[in-house]
Structure formats: C-alpha cells, structure tokens
Structure 1
C-alpha cells in the first residue's frame, strides 16, 4: 500500500527516502508511505493505495534507491516511481514470514537475511545470501546457536563487522524465560562457520529483531543494548544496560557496562540507535505504567533518553509518552534521529533529535492514523 502527497518526482539513489508503515487495525488497513522529508509538514493518508496481491507485507531492509518487503512466500525488491509508487523489481523465495526478520548487508549488494523463524527449540536457523542487484539467491544455509538441551533460542539481529557476522540471541527455557546471561555467536562472514560464542552475566537478552538495538561509533566500537523487559525477552532479574565490544575485538569489554535499570528507577530498555559522536537514543519502558502485558505495545508507556556512551550521562528527552515500540527509531540521511511518537492525545508524529545541539523538535505529523508502526531509511 502507498500514500501519495508529494510532487511527482523519480527516485534516485542520492535522494533521501523514508518508508513509513501505518497501522489502522479498526479498518484492517496497513499502508506504506514513501516520503522524502520527516522533519516538517503534515501528511494525509486518505489516498492510500494497496500493494496489489501482497497483503501483510513486512519491511525487511532498504538500500539507496530500493526497499525489500517480505510476503508469505517471497522477498520482493521495490523501487520508487515518479508518483512515489512502489514498483516490483524482482523477488526470491524466502525462508518464511515473520514480523521480525533479521538482515545485514555483507557488502553493497549481498544481503544476509532470515525472514523466519525467529525462535526454535533445536537452535538451527535458515538463512539466505541474496544478490539484491538481480534478486537471486547466492547461497542458502543454516546456522546453529549454542544452547543447552531442551531450551529455546531466538536470534536478535545480524551485525556484519570486520569480516565477522555477530549474532546476539536470546537463550530461554521451554517456558520462554530467558536465562540470566547475554550471548553473541561469532561467525566467519565468508562461509558462515561458527568461530565462538561469547557471553556476559551483566545483563540478558541483547537486542530484539524489530527495533534498532546496536550502535557502531566512529572509532569502530560496537555497543549493544539489552531488551530484557517482560515484553521483549522476559528476564528482568538482571538490569537492562549497554555492553561494549571494542574495535578489532570479538569479546565483551568486561570493564564497561551502562546499567540503565539502576539509573532509571528500575525501568527496562527496549531499543537504541546511534546519534553521532558518543550519543545514542535509548527507548525505555516506564515500568510503573505497565499494568498488563498488552501495555507494552498498546499502552502509553514509552519514553526516550539521550545517553552518552563515554561519560554514561543520561538525559530524558522532552517527548510525549508513546505507544508501539517497534521500528520507532531511524537515523536520517543528515545524521539526525527520527523518533516515531504515538501520543495519548491521538497525534502521530516524528520528533527529530539533533545530536549537534541535543535539541528535539516536532517533524512530520500524520492525520487520521491510528498509529505509526515503523520507519526506515533507504
């Protein structure tokens, strides 16, 4: 589905483009909207159009000039036409359909992707390497995560870094209660051979597949946030926090831990996105506002903080409490960060964080939407 509210103009690889998923469950209506600017204006959704014959499409990833959406049987590449219509450019059979696919580009055109399943009891997961230029499958295979017998595993994301593929994963018992540690499997990017698994007991459940959960700073250090609330990973016995793997290393830096739960009155984190310099924006569930499981998604319980990774200083951003945590954070082409806020007053808007000034301003506002359910740059 697609909305059109901009002047007709063909898409190029150099232009800023953002695809927005909009949810209107009362109307069984879930359109996508392609825009060039999230920093100002109002958007109408009355002219929404459906992607023909592809209901329930799920956003996977994007690259300059195209996006990849997953359907029940196919991973489909779309470019953007002069009227901002999504134009199919090819497809490959997928590994299944799930709301939280994981993927990472191995280089400019080769995509490592798993569209399903997210959690299995034998810890064996299917992946594909897709040539996104001509939409062909270069290789299909499986990876196995190290888990104890009878337990469950759920990979959070793929991170391609320095010739390795890092796979943070949630390790849980047969009741889906995560064990009190966080693990990352390290694979060789050339042949997807498991080299080792690293763990830390500082926190549990690093990342989650439907929200940005890591940051690589300019010096190459990798930071990972735990998403161990009772919504994401179901283990609040350990604090939420941020851990580090230094540039050139594939082990946790045991000297570093930003304990978010201790600093935020017992609250637990969701996602995190890099904002430039040493700053990240952290998504936080306000625990006192969570009365039932459904509140994690449909309650106005989400706040956002600026965190300095070096000094570990935290500052709450002046934003309305929001609902729906999925895909709510995206880095703009100019380095700013867009935060999708679904406020209690019914307004659905993007708030723009400027890392240079630390300021936040209201950007693109949607009218007649029930909630924004995701945004991604391409």
Structure 2
C-alpha cells in the first residue's frame, strides 16, 4: 500500500511525508553518463524544499543542500525511489510513468520513462543488474496486487499483470504488500489486509500472509498464514525491512506499530525463512516488543555475522501519529539474530523522522544518518568490529531532515 503523499496523511501509510528523487542513463539512443559519485543524500529543507546531494564520502565534512544540492520539484518527485548504478528510478503518479533520472550540474534530469498506469508501488526487487521487478496495488481502490517487470537500460516494460492474491474480504477494505524475495524460481510475497475506520484512520488484520508463486509464470503455489505478528515488511523504497544472511536465510520484520499497521496490541517481530525452504520457520520468532526494547520498531539493517541494527520508537516521548515524525524519539539497537537477543542500545542522539532509509553498511562501517534536535544532522560512523561511534559528515544550512542515504554504485 504505497500511499505516501506530500503534505498530507495517506490512507494507509504513516504521516511522515518527505520525499526524494532519481537519475538516468539513455534517452532516445543518446548515452547519458551515469553518476560516478559513491553516495546520495536526500534532504528535506527547513522551508519545505527538497534536495538530492551526491558525495564521495560520508566520513567527514560539511554540506549545505542549498549550496551544492539539486533542488527537486516537489510536484514531480517524492522520496519513494530506487537508486542503482548512478541512476534514480521513480513512479510519477501524475504522469502514470516510471521514470529514470540522473543528477547533472545540481539538477535532476529525466533520462527515459515508460508508461505504468493504475499502479502503486509497494516494493522493488532486482532480478538482475538491469531488470527490475515492481510489486504493488491498483490505484483505484488498492485491492488488487499487481506486478511489473521493467528492463531499466532502455526503460521497457517486459510484462505487467495481476497476482492471484485474494482481494480484501468482509470488514477489510484494502491490502498491502510488504516484501518480495525470489529463490529457486519461486517468488515469495508477504502481505496483509486493512480495515478502514474513518477518512484518516485504519487498522490491520492480525495475520501475516506469505504467498508463493512460480517464477516467471507467476502462477500461485499456495498461501500460508501466521498470527504471531502482522504487517510484514513495508514500502522498501522508503525503508528496508528484510535481508538475506550469509547462509541464505531470509529475515523480515513486521510493523504493527501506529505508523504502519496500527495494531499496537501485536508485537513487532522478526520472522525467518530458512535457506532451501519455502515456508516460515515456525520455531523462529524474534519478539522485539517483548525484549528490553519494549516498543515497536521500523526498519532493519543487516551488518553480517548474525547481527543487525533496528530503529525503535520511544512511545513515552511522542503523543501520537500527529507528532510521530517531528519528535526526536527513535533509538538504534544492535541485535543478535541467532540468539534472539538485544545486545545493546547504540549511544546515538534521539532521532526523528518516522520511516527513513538511514543506514548504509559498507565493509566494517555502518553509516547512520541521525536527525537530532539537539546535536544537529550528522552521518555517524559505527565500527562493526569495535563498536566505536563517531560523527562523520554534517548536513547543515537548510537541512531539516536527512530522509535517506543510498549507495549510488552497487
């Protein structure tokens, strides 16, 4: 249910409405050079302006988005983008097109596009270097799960269609897909259903659904259910919720907190699909809300060696959804996936911004973007081997929120 909209609360997404944008390569046969910078930073400015900046280092320095950033057209661009190999990809809902962009001379330039009508993206998955699988919903009523496969070198839709997932039933009025994974020519897709409570409020089923399809035929094999938690994953163009470890085990986080599932009575948890298996591991469930964290969490980043960082809310510091994005209340925790234990809270300032792509793992360093009300906006460097933390690049000037950081080159 990818419904994030600027300056407003979407029907199914959280209220945090800040966005970013894309890059490009070839248009009408003319080669457009991809960006060769290493990192991209998406900024929401203090006056509501939005910027993308590219840099070769996050380790130190000072950047002003109003001086060196590419200013974005907020009517054309939002933060739900895919960044890969020097280009940015975005669904422009007004134009009903999936567009490829690049940064050039402090501007975001459209390189190529392809029509993509009645499509709302929830998740993306790279089938190979230049073939992108998008999954999401129809935009008319968000009740039909859809997919599209796009060749990104020339921006051609290879195939588009519906997935045989039951539409909402009974009291449920819509659906959301939360993660996609392909292994052994089988496509896994997590989803759940939602009930509309009012024009601006909804809740979620108590069930996580896991659908399995043959690939590339997209024929349904079966659908499994699990009631240990709900809202599996989330819009991974906004924040990551899943990963594979070194052994091929697949992990995903559920998000029943008020900013996504709005089923706060259920725990945030981590599920696992073991390597070589096609069902959920019924013996594995990392209950985040029952740990020392005792809160809900959004976003997970794998460090390697069975360890990951999660970003957890502090429910004692915010009043509700209305101030969830603007109040600094998020904490970062190091967890051990094999033992199901919380190892420690990282000694970082309280962070603000409900859902963000705010961590990049590179070698032995985790770069963590923190929006601190008291200490400013910094990229912090966490040494995975030693546990040491230090400040890196500072984003200042017109910076209000660092909404996402991305590796430009994969």
TM-score (norm 1): 0.87
In structure 2, the residue corresponding to 1:46 is in which secondary structure?
Answer: helix
Question: Over aligned residue pairs, what C-alpha RMSD do you find?
Answer: 2.7
Say if 2:346 is the partner of 1:317.
yes
Counterpart residue number, 1:45: 65
Q: How does 1:81-100 map to 2 (within 5 A)?
A: 81=104, 83=105, 86-95=108-117
- Unpaired runs of 5+ residues, structure 1, are 3-9
**Residue of 392, 395, 408 corresponding to 1:366:** 395
Counterpart residue number, 1:299: 327
Q: Is the 8 A contact 2:211 2:223 kept in 1?
A: yes
Say if 2:229 is the partner of 1:203.
yes
Say if 2:406 is the partner of 1:376.
yes
Deviations 1:155-178 (A, max 9, x none): 123223332322222322343321
Structure 1 distance, partners of 2:140, 2:367, is: 30
Structure 2 distance, partners of 1:155, 1:128, is: 14
Counterpart residue number, 2:38: 17
Structure 2 distance, partners of 1:94, 1:35, is: 31
Counterpart residue number, 1:113: 134
Structure 2 distance, partners of 1:36, 1:85, is: 18
Say if 2:369 is the partner of 1:340.
yes
- Unpaired runs of 5+ residues, structure 2, are 1-19, 22-31
Deviates more, 1:277-286 or 1:165-174: 165-174
Number of matched residues? 366
Deviation at 1:237, TM superposition (A): 2.0
**Which of structures 1 and 2 has the larger relative contact order (alpha carbons within 8 angstroms, sep 6+)?**
2
Q: Structure 1 235/59 Cα, relative in aligned 2: closer, same or farther at 3 Å?
A: closer
Q: How does 1:95-244 map to 2 (within 5 A)?
A: 95=117, 101-114=122-135, 117=138, 120=141, 122=143, 124-146=144-166, 149-150=169-170, 151=172, 152-175=174-197, 176-209=202-235, 210-244=238-272
Structure 2 distance, partners of 1:193, 1:367, is: 50
In structure 2, the residue corresponding to 1:106 is in which secondary structure?
Answer: strand
**Residue of 352, 356, 370 corresponding to 1:327:** 356
Structure 2 distance, partners of 1:354, 1:95, is: 44
Structure 1 distance, partners of 2:166, 2:137, is: 19
Deviation at 1:328, TM superposition (A): 3.1
Deviation at 1:206, TM superposition (A): 1.4
Structure 2 distance, partners of 1:341, 1:280, is: 17
Structure 2 distance, partners of 1:269, 1:171, is: 20
Structure 2 distance, partners of 1:102, 1:135, is: 18
Deviates more, 1:300-309 or 1:186-195: 186-195
Structure 2 distance, partners of 1:97, 1:296, is: 28
Deviations 1:294-352 (A, max 9, x none): 23211112111011111223111111111113233333443633222111126111223
Deviations 1:145-199 (A, max 9, x none): 2355142211123223332322222322343321222122222231222222222
Q: Is the 8 A contact 1:213 1:224 kept in 2?
A: yes
Deviates more, 1:53-62 or 1:153-162: 53-62
Q: Structure 1 283/117 Cα, relative in aligned 2: closer, same or farther at 3 Å?
A: farther
Structure 1 distance, partners of 2:215, 2:356, is: 26
Q: Structure 1 336/67 Cα, relative in aligned 2: closer, same or farther at 3 Å?
A: farther
Deviates more, 1:145-154 or 1:128-137: 145-154
Counterpart residue number, 1:56: 77
In structure 1, the residue corresponding to 2:128 is in which secondary structure?
Answer: coil
Q: Structure 1 200/88 Cα, relative in aligned 2: closer, same or farther at 3 Å?
A: same
In structure 1, the residue corresponding to 2:324 is in which secondary structure?
Answer: helix
Structure 1 distance, partners of 2:145, 2:404, is: 25
Q: Structure 1 106/346 Cα, relative in aligned 2: closer, same or farther at 3 Å?
A: same
Q: Is the 8 A contact 2:353 2:403 kept in 1?
A: yes
In structure 2, the residue corresponding to 1:157 is in which secondary structure?
Answer: strand
Deviates more, 1:48-57 or 1:72-81: 48-57
